[in-house]
Amino acid sequence: MAVLVGLDVGTSGTRALAVNPEGAVVAEATSGYEPDSPRPGWSEQRPEDWWRATREVLAAVAAGAGDQIVGLGLAGQMHGSVFLDSAGEIIRPALLWNDQRTESDCAAITERVGAERLLELAGNPALTGFQAPKILWLRREEPEAHARVASVLLPKDYVRLKLSGERATDASDASGTLLLDVRARSWSDEILDALEIPREWLPDVYEGPEVTAVVSDAVADDLGLPRGLPVAAGGGDNAAAAVGVGVVRERLISSSIGTSGVLFAHRDSFTPDPSGRVHALCHAVPGAYHLMAVTLSAGGSLNWWRERFGGRADFEPLVAEAADVEPGAEGLLFLPYLTGERSPHLDPRASGAFVGLTARHGRAQLTRAIMEGVVLSMRDGLEVMRALGTAVDEVRATGGGARSPLWLQLQADIYGCPIRRTGVDEGPAYGAALLAGVASGVFTDIEAATSSVRVRESITEPDPERARRYDELYATFASLYPALRDAMHALGRR
């Protein structure tokens, strides 16, 4: 029986899944690592750690699946920058998606390309997490390192290079660089020329289910993989995860609460927000697009609270306490901007806040306020998507938040939509395996691949009274960032 492998190069670890054509997981492995923050607002990782972890998890999955493996698909954290020299050697640690050091470089990009033209071509304004400003930062701050650059790759594509010796990327991940003409699904010569970035630094762009390479014989023999194993282009983590939960047509969106919070809406056509408040990017589905709203610190906010002030309690008792608190956390709201904010505020200097705090509030109320604040922040992005004509019949929950009844109910009540889960919720690696199935010929197309995605019968419906209460709270929540923005920025300069 054929087996498909999906590999996800994440921020906290790399995960591999082996999946059969019916969609069942037959083997899995995870290997972890940590990001580094050498200065406030900086976030880096060693690409060597991704490759070490990749070798570990692929060897483990190969030991479980053997010669049945017929395809490998790649997914990974978006926006990161791996700088390589002419020999393919790493020049410096990679700058990650949540790195905030490039605010002035974003301003320079906007000036050189033009704000409107940038949105028209790239679908997004210049944001600190994207790859293009990272290249300009390297030129400005580390000119000797910049002079050595011969290649710039995204995280999963560095792993592809190590697996196969080939440089390639996919349209969904490439559209998060700010260097892609998103409509044309190819690199924008206009942007590259304006930023003085050589085209030859960048890999070829493929659609998600296309074959980009085969695993080299040396790597295959070393890890126990079959020789000649095709490697699919794959997708950025959110696009691959959307494939994995079947969000491959309009009127379906996914809501993922992990370290960050992401709302992902499939769109058949390219519909960027004129103000850039949500991302407009290519999907891993050939010829399709998506809108994406990102709350940078979602589950990360709850983890921050648990580690710093919750006595490092397990999540379960913390969430159980919060479940006993009425909606609104007794008049307390939380702004989850602990690492700046992406959607819809586009503000790397935004900061978090509890508003309404009084002496009667305890750990349970603060935990509830944090969880509510995360979903209220994600609703900010959903409201922009709706204004852009995104109809929503159903939300499919993914990430760690999909396994918590309270997170699920909060999403249903705050979004005002039914929430469903898929039978298998394995994130980007699962979607990458399905893309590998198309690339290897196991499935004829994406529709056939995602026909194996099963939705659970149970549905988390919004409660009308709680939904009404959260509509009122959302109006207050939405007023807070504009009121506090100047104060956040002033305090951030101290």
Residue 52 lies in a domain: yes
Torsion of CA 191, 123, 298, 24, to 10 degrees: -100
**Exposure class string for 29-66: b at 16+ Cβ within 10 A, else e:** bbbebebeeeeebbbbbebebbbebbbbbbebbbebbe
* Residues written for the chain: 494
- 228 and 308 inside one domain: no
Residue pLDDT, tens place only, 75-92 = 999 999 999 999 999 999
Bridge-partner residues for 14, per DSSP?
A: 9, 31
Report yes or no: 280 and 288 within 8 Å, Cβ to Cβ.
no
Within a domain: 124: yes
**Positive/negative CA dihedral, 36, 39, 42, 48:** negative
pLDDT band per the 50, 70, 90 thresholds, residue 304: very high
Helix/strand/coil for 389: coil
Range of the structural domain that residue 320 is part of: 295-420+463-492
Examine the domain organization and report whether 235 and 331 are in the same domain: no
In 3D space, the residue among 176, 444, 479 whose CA is nearest the CA of residue 286 turns out to be 444
The reported pLDDT for the residue numbered 305 is 93
Q: Are residues 111 and 216 in the same domain?
A: yes
Residue 309: pLDDT over 70: yes
Q: What CA–CA distances, in Å, run from 148 to 134, 254, 287? A: 15, 41, 35
**In percent, how much of the chain has pLDDT > 70?**
100
Does residue 30 sit in the same domain as residue 66?
yes
Q: How confident is the model at residue 151 (pLDDT cuts 50, 70, 90)?
A: very high
- The stretch 50-72 carries a mean pLDDT of 94
Same domain? For 235 and 335 the reply is no
User: Is residue 149 one of the residues assigned to a domain?
Assistant: yes
Q: What pLDDT, on the 0 to 100 scale, is given for residue 400? A: 82
Instruction: Note whether residue 250 is domain-resident.
Output: no
Question: d(Cα 168, Cα 96) in Å, to the nearest integer?
Answer: 19
Amino acid at 112: R
Model confidence at 54: pLDDT above 80: yes
Q: How far apart are CA 111 and CA 264, in angstroms?
A: 29
Mean pLDDT of the chain: 94
* Full-model pTM: 0.90
454 pLDDT higher than 90: no
Q: What amino acid positions are annotated as catalytic residues?
A: 237
**Is 434 in the same domain as 359?**
no
Least confident range of 55-59, 310-314, 367-371, 417-421: 310-314
| 304/194 same-domain check | no
Query: Which residue shows structure tokens 């479940």?
Result: 323
Whether 289 has a pLDDT exceeding 70, the answer reads yes
**pLDDT at position 427, please?**
83
Same domain, 60 and 102: yes
At position 322, the amino acid (one-letter code) is A
CA Rg, the chain, in Å? 22
Reply yes or no on whether the pLDDT at 226 is more than 70.
Answer: yes
Q: How confident is the model at residue 224 (pLDDT cuts 50, 70, 90)?
A: very high
* Residue 493: predicted pLDDT: 78
- Phi, psi values for residue 265, rounded to 5°: -120, 120
Range list of H helices, 311-456? 315-323, 363-387, 405-415, 428-439, 446-450
What pLDDT, on a 0 to 100 scale, did the predictor assign at position 494?
Answer: 64
By C-alpha distance, which of 328, 339, 333 is closest to 301? 339
| pLDDT tops 80 at residue 429 | yes
Of the listed ranges 5-9, 274-278, 359-363, 411-415, the one predicted with least confidence: 274-278
pLDDT range class, residue 223, cuts 50, 70, 90: very high
* Same domain membership, residue 318 and residue 193: no
Beta 180-181 vs 186-187: how paired, if at all? antiparallel
pLDDT one-digit tens code per residue, 89-110: 999 999 998 888 999 999 999 9
The answer to the question of residue 43 being in a domain is yes
Has residue 244 got a pLDDT over 80? yes
Residue 210 to residue 483: CA distance in whole angstroms: 48
**Partners of 9 in the β-ladder:** 14, 76
Query: Can you give 217-255 as a three-state secondary structure string?
Result: HHHHHHHCCCCCCEEEEEEEHHHHHHHHCCCCCCCEEEE
**Residue 270 within a domain:** no
Q: Span 26-55, mean pLDDT?
A: 94
Total domains in the fold of the chain: 2
Q: Are residues 348 and 404 in the same domain?
A: yes
Task: For residues 210 and 230, give the distance between their C-alpha atoms in angstroms, rounded to a whole number.
Answer: 10
- Label residue 122 by pLDDT band (50, 70, 90): very high
Question: At 211, is the secondary structure helix, strand, or coil?
Answer: strand
CATH number at residue 394: 3.30.420.40
Q: Are residues 43 and 137 in the same domain?
A: yes
User: Are 310 and 234 part of one and the same domain?
Assistant: no
**Residue 435 structure tokens:** 């893309």
More confident residue, 247 or 67: 247
What distance lies between CA 43 and its chain's CA centroid? 15
**Assigned domain for 286 exists:** no
Say what the alpha-carbon torsion angle 318, 322, 328, 333 is, to the nearest 10 degrees: 0
Query: Is 269 a member of any domain?
Result: no
Q: In this predicted model, what pLDDT tens digit does every residue of 459-484 receive, in sequence order? A: 999 999 999 999 999 999 999 999 99
